[in-house]
């Protein structure tokens, strides 16, 4: 019985000591806020910089105290070394009216406490008609032990009662006394005459906050200990009946804990079979199906919890989905490449026959000393040869520009001086790999939409290239009439919508070029369109920068 009581008393003493340790340590955290310390010692400064620094430090300190004490502190008052109020904080405006005058106990000496001592007491506030618990502590310089200021915390007494009663059972009685020997809290006054005075306590207990000194008075056990973090004395009065009941409760709890442990072990065995063995068998069966070529298989995923088995299931489903996605991506890439080749074929009929015919026409023109026609035939023949190349679908920037140069050379015979072109591409980028039929559709759009209009302007097309962040950026800019805002918005929106059709028009087009670049290199790459009315249009092509023969991850 005595041992059970001693354990209970030690638990209550330890819990309350921790509560007042949190309260005391949160007050001493002010040492970490130099602006607040300076405010207490010297008062407020007139400079804006110091004013805002002090405001920020006070805000952080108030937040720290509130969090440390689980938002039970309702008001904090900060006094200077001259005992004048420097600053205060209230949880709500109703607490601003709490007075600080001789109506409060210890009004005259609570701001001049000795070094490392605090004072706790309760009182009834006549203004707010509420009981408050007050914790006051004086802040000293730890080296010179000169006074810097004082802190006063206000807590509703009912909040303190909740903390105490949460660890007490009737008919036990808890009594708290401050450093002055005054009782500021007791569960009830039934055993007030049994509480021993401070003079009868062993002074060595002050160094042992969890040590309990028991005495027997009128068939009762009275245990007393010191709470060093609040300079408080805790007294717990146990009745014999309560001691017996605690012993029986301890026995019942021990037996119940054994039964509960046996039930938990049995339940865990069943759960292990249900949630570990069976999912592993299902996962092994699904892996066999994938090995046989069935990539559409998926496993049900638990949504309420995560463990190693469920994580394996999610990774398995992700793997099968990724395999299907890569297969689909490869298929679409092949379709787009075929689309580019077939659409190019649609523009020509029997290309080999036409190519041979162009050579014949060029030869006859040379015999007649007409040198422009052979050059046109050569350019057109090179275009045919580039369009119907049967090798790798990937080309280089240099070959793309040569193809564009042949196209523009032919168009200049039609538009003469109305069409000008400039190329500014570094020699180091000429061997950079790029998929075929990227530049010519963009140049063709510029020629078709910018020439032949009513203003009969001269069209200048500039092609430039540079390296930006491990990527090659090709810019095709013209000085045409530009694209109207509604049409430009529609074009930009169309680039972001993935086309599900193999042939989306009669020409290769910007959308086809954009989708083929993304299929080949990924989403970070593709086309970007910018245009301003009467200033022209700028289309940028972004592809990865790599050497010839390197693969694109």
Both tokens of 227, joined, read: 């709470």
**Can you give the pLDDT at residue 267?**
87
Between 449 and 79, the higher pLDDT residue: 79
pLDDT tens, residue by residue, 176-191 = 888 888 888 888 777 7
Nearest to 448 by CA among 496, 488, 484, 480: 480
Question: What are the CA-CA distances from residue 341 to residues 272, 384, 410, 446, 522 (Å)?
Answer: 59, 11, 21, 22, 21
Neighbour-count burial for 81-98, b at 16+ CB within 10 Å, e otherwise: beeeebbbbbeeeebeeb
Tokens of 360: 């014949």
Q: Where are the domains of the chain?
A: 5-240, 295-347, 416-544
CATH for 416-544, options being 3.30.565.10, 3.40.47.10, 3.90.1150.150, 3.40.50.720: 3.30.565.10
351-363 exposure pattern, b = at least 16 Cβ within 10 A, e = fewer:
beeebeebeeebe
Q: Mind listing the pLDDT tens digit for each residue in 86-138? A: 999 998 888 888 888 888 888 888 899 998 888 999 999 888 889 999 999 99
For the ranges 5-14, 88-97, 237-246, 503-512, the maximum mean pLDDT occurs at 88-97
pLDDT at 137: 92
Q: State which of 140-154, 160-174, 508-522 shows the largest mean pLDDT.
A: 140-154
Q: Which residue has the higher pLDDT, 55 or 11?
A: 55
Which token pair is 95? 């607490």
Mean pLDDT of the chain: 79
The mean pLDDT value for 224-233 works out to 75
Beta bridge pairs of residue 213: 224
What SS3 state is found at 197?
coil
Q: What is the pLDDT of residue 343?
A: 57
Range name among 20-24, 163-167, 339-343 with the lowest pLDDT average: 339-343
**What DSSP string describes 497-547?**
SPP--S--SSS-HHHHHHHHHHHHH-TT-EEEEEEETTTEEEEEEEEE---
DSSP 433-447: EEESSSHHHHHHHHH
Averaged pLDDT for residues 263-278? 79
Q: Record the tokens describing residue 179, joined without a space.
A: 């450093």
Q: Give the rounded percent of residues in the chain with a pLDDT score beyond 90.
A: 18
Q: Is the CB of residue 282 less than 8 Å from the CB of residue 300? A: no
How far is residue 343 CA from its own chain's centroid?
48
pTM over 0.85: no
Query: What would the mean pLDDT of 227-232 be, rounded to a whole number?
Result: 72
Residue 549 has pLDDT above 60, yes or no: no
399 and 356 Cβ atoms separated by less than 8 Å:
no
Backbone φ and ψ for 268, nearest 5 degrees, come out as: -65, -35
Amino acid 504: pLDDT: 45
């Amino acid at each position: 019985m005595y041992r059970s009581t001693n354990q209970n008393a030690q638990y209550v003493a330890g819990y309350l000591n921790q509560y007042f340790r949190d309260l005391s340590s949160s007050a001493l955290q002010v040492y970490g806020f130099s602006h607040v310390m300076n405010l207490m010692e010297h008062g407020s400064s007139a400079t804006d910089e110091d004013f805002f620094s002090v405001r920020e430090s006070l805000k952080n300190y108030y937040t720290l105290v509130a969090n440390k004490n689980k938002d039970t502190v309702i008001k904090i008052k900060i006094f200077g070394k001259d005992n004048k109020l420097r600053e205060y904080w209230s949880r709500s405006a109703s607490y601003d009216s709490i007075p600080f005058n001789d109506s409060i106990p210890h009004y005259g000496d609570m701001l001049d406490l000795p070094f490392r001592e605090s004072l706790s007491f309760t009182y009834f506030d006549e203004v707010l008609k509420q009981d408050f618990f007050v914790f006051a502590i004086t802040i000293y310089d730890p080296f010179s032990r000169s006074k810097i200021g004082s802190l006063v915390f206000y807590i509703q007494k009912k909040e303190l009662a909740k903390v105490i009663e949460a660890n007490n059972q009737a008919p036990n009685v808890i009594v708290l006394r401050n450093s002055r020997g005054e009782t500021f809290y007791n569960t009830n006054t039934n055993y007030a005459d049994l509480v021993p005075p401070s003079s009868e306590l062993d002074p060595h207990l002050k160094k042992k906050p969890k040590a309990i000194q028991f005495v027997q008075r009128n068939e009762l056990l009275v245990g007393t200990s010191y709470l060093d973090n609040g300079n408080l004395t805790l007294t717990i009065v146990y009745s014999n009946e309560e001691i017996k009941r605690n012993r029986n409760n301890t026995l019942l709890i021990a037996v119940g804990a054994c039964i509960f442990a046996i039930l938990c072990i049995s339940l865990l065995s069943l759960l292990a079979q249900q949630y570990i063995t069976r999912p592993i068998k299902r996962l092994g069966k699904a892996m066999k199906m994938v090995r046989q070529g069935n990539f559409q298989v998926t496993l049900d995923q638990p949504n309420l919890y995560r463990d190693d088995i469920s994580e394996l299931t999610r990774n398995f489903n992700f793997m099968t989905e990724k395999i299907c996605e890569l297969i689909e991506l490869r298929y679409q890439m092949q379709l787009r490449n075929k689309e580019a080749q077939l659409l190019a074929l649609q523009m020509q009929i029997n290309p080999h026959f036409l190519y041979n015919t162009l050579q014949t026409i060029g030869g006859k023109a040379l015999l007649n000393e007409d040198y422009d026609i052979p050059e046109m035939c050569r350019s057109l023949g090179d275009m045919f040869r580039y369009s119907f190349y049967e090798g790798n679908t990937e080309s280089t920037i240099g070959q793309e520009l040569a193809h564009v140069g042949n196209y523009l050379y032919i168009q200049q015979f039609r538009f003469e001086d109305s069409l000008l072109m400039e190329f500014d591409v570094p020699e180091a980028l000429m061997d950079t790999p790029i998929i075929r039929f990227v530049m010519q559709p963009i140049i063709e759009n510029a020629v078709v939409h910018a020439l032949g209009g009513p203003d009969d302007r001269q069209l200048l097309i500039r092609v430039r290239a540079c390296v930006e962040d491990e990527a090659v950026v090709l810019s095709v800019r013209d000085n045409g009439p530009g694209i109207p805002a509604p049409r430009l918005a529609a074009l930009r929106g169309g680039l972001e919508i993935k086309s599900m059709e193999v042939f989306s028009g009669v020409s290769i087009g910007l959308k086809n070029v954009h989708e083929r670049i993304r299929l080949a290199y990924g989403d970070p790459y593709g086309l970007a369109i910018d245009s301003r009315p009467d200033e022209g249009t700028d289309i940028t092509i972004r592809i990865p920068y790599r050497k010839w023969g390197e693969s694109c991850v």
